[in-house]
Amino acid sequence: MKILCVGRNYAAHAKEMGGTGKEEPVWFWKPESAIVGDGEPVVVPAGVGAVHHEVELAVRVGKAARRVAPAQAVRHLDAATVAVDVTARDLQQAAKKAGNPWAQSKGYDTFLPLGAWQPLPADLQAVRLRLAVNGQARQDGSTSAMVWDVGRLVAAASAWTTLVPGDILLTGTPEGVGPIVPGDAMEAEAVGLARVRSPVVAG
């Protein structure tokens, strides 16, 4: 099972990270050991600097896909849920500045809170995504604002890597990302679909 993620798929988030909002989405990976479920903690390792939350829609592959067309791609999915792409931001920015890969900043254990899988909603491009920290709203957006819709993402991924049942795709985050620190309580929701609650602790 692989976890394939896309960045810069919401123009407003790309801008808040210093981009123009016109960049092409970029792919990266997370390891399976990053996954935690509802109520399980996100562990902030000592010495990593700023750690940020990024709420996302996650979809799961139910049928193998290789070079599928966008119009057919969603047929290869069998479930969806909410996810939080936790990011060691200082490490990511330092790696970017040096021209190095930034997989480590995304791949720490517990850096992927994942809600329970649910049947696909009728419209994957009409899902409201929300995230709150200590009861205060941080992110509130809609999958309607994606640069590439879910079908295009699945098709694009299947053009270069075979997607197999159980694979997970994270589809990008809307604007409003921000820091989490030990002692925080984070709650992410795909409204009407799934939610995941994550205490934040020190590692």
SS3 per-residue string spanning 90-115: HHHHHHHHHCCCCHHHHHCCCCEEEC
Look up tokens 């049942």; give the residue. 165
pTM of the model: 0.93
What is the predicted pLDDT for the residue at 24? 75
What is the predicted pLDDT for the residue at 98? 85
Domains and CATH numbers, the chain: 3-202 (3.90.850.10)
Nearest to 117 by CA among 169, 72, 40: 169
Q: What is the full per-residue pLDDT of the chain (203 aa) written as tens digits?
A: 999 999 889 876 556 655 565 667 789 999 999 999 999 999 999 999 999 999 999 999 999 999 999 999 999 999 999 999 999 988 788 878 888 887 888 999 999 999 999 999 999 999 999 999 999 999 999 999 999 999 999 999 999 999 999 999 999 999 999 999 999 999 999 999 999 999 999 98
What is the predicted pLDDT for the residue at 22? 63
Listed in sequence order, the residues at least 6 apart from 146 whose beta carbon sits closer than 8 Å to its beta carbon are 9, 10, 125, 153, 171, 172
